[in-house]
Amino acid sequence: MQNSTSTVFDSLAKSVAPQRRTISDYIIITLALICTFIAFSPFGFAILTSLKSDWKSGDIIPFLQFEPNLLNWQQEFGSGGAETMKALRNSSLISLGATLVATSLGTLAGYGLARFKYGVGNRNLVSWFLSQRFLPPVATLIPFVLMFRDLKLLDTLPGMVIVNATFTLPFAVLIMRDYFADLPPEMREAALVDGASEFTTFWAIALPLARPALVASTLICFAFAWNEFLFASVLANRDWKPYPMLVAGSDTVRGIDFGFVTTRMIIAVSVPVLLSLMVQRFIVRGLTFGAVKG
């Protein structure tokens, strides 16, 4: 009895005692810190640059090489505030509209591809959706211009929503299809046996369980629509210019004002970054569901 008790205490002491780090552990930690620094250094440099009223490439240490100020931020939301708020409104409406359309259609298509068999083959349909992302977007630019010109959709909110939803739809389809395919089919079969319709089974059983994937696909679609620039630069030239176009046009007669550009860049990046941080746990679960089986 005494030996068994001492063995238990020894095992507890070993588990509580801090483990000694090996040289390989320190190497991994050092490499991780270096990679983290490299990844975040552009954002840190952008923040420092946005706090300079007189930009000089060699000034990187605040309060020693330059005096930080908020002149660029005051200019962005002060004298240029009307243009900024209009561009942010445009980007928000376009991104939300495109995300709503792409996520709604992608969820229905993903459930159909996961639960039903089609004559042309489900693999062929999934490959077709995936091929829409392999196609260079510039290849479809002229057809979109010609169609939108005839339909009077140039420089309009519906036109920008349609074009962004078209290119974000494959993400929603693929994410939701993989998630629905990994759900136990017994739940659907039990609901159908109990008299539920196919739509009721989808709405009341499958969709609530797919909430992490739905959040992940929504955020990915929103981020791509928020960052879209190519089609916006051609299809929206006045009334519905999104915020990325405002960032690209941040030049002056004296050249590029880097402090002003980085201010707008931080604003453009902060929206999807903050959203991803808020729903991080849903994104990880939605994108990794079914990755490990057995």
DSSP labels for 68-118? ---HHHHHHHTTTHHHHHHHHHHHHHHHHHHHHHHHHHHHHHHHHHHH---
Higher pLDDT, 105 or 57: 105
Burial 230-260 (b: 16+ CB within 10 A, else e): ebbbbbbeeebbbbbbbbeebeeeeeebbbb
Higher pLDDT, 103 or 118: 103
pLDDT tens-place string over residues 150-163: 999 999 999 999 99
3-state secondary structure of 66: strand
Q: Which alpha helices (H) appear in the chain, and where do they start and end?
A: 2-16, 23-50, 71-77, 81-115, 122-134, 141-150, 157-182, 185-193, 198-201, 207-209, 211-227, 230-235, 243-248, 258-278, 280-288
Strand partners, 256: 251
Contact status, residue 229 vs residue 167, Cβ threshold 8 Å: no
pLDDT at 284: 65
d(CA 239, CA 257): 25
3-state secondary structure of 256: strand
pLDDT tens-place string over residues 252-286: 655 677 778 888 888 888 888 888 787 777 666 65
pLDDT tens-place string over residues 211-245: 888 988 898 899 999 999 989 989 988 889 999 88
pLDDT at 187: 84
Instruction: Please report, as a single letter, which amino acid is at residue 125.
Output: L
Quick one: residue 181, left, alpha or beta (phi over 0 = left, psi -120 to 50 = alpha)? alpha
Higher pLDDT, 93 or 125: 93
Does the structure show a pLDDT above 90 at 2? no
pLDDT at 9: 47
- Residues 130-140, mean pLDDT to the nearest whole number: 81
DSSP state of 291: S
Strand partners, 255: 252
Q: Picking from 2-6, 59-63, 129-133, 209-213, which range would have the lowest pLDDT averaged per residue?
A: 2-6
Mean pLDDT of the chain: 81
DSSP state of 248: H
Does the structure show a pLDDT above 50 at 118? yes
Higher pLDDT, 9 or 200: 200
pLDDT at 96: 95
pLDDT at 17: 47
Q: Give pTM, 2 decimals.
A: 0.80
d(CA 166, CA 8): 62
Q: Which position has the token pair 């780090």?
A: 21
Contact status, residue 245 vs residue 178, Cβ threshold 8 Å: no
3-state secondary structure of 67: coil
pLDDT at 44: 85
Does the structure show a pLDDT above 60 at 111? yes
pLDDT at 161: 95
Higher pLDDT, 66 or 141: 141
- Residues 180-185, mean pLDDT to the nearest whole number: 86
Does the structure show a pLDDT above 60 at 58? yes
Q: What is the dihedral of CA 38, 39, 44, 46, to 10 degrees?
A: 110
pLDDT tens-place string over residues 4-31: 555 544 554 455 445 677 888 889 999 9
Alpha carbon distance, N-terminus to C-terminus of the chain: 39
Kindly calculate the radius of gyration of the chain based on its CA atoms and give it in whole angstroms.
26
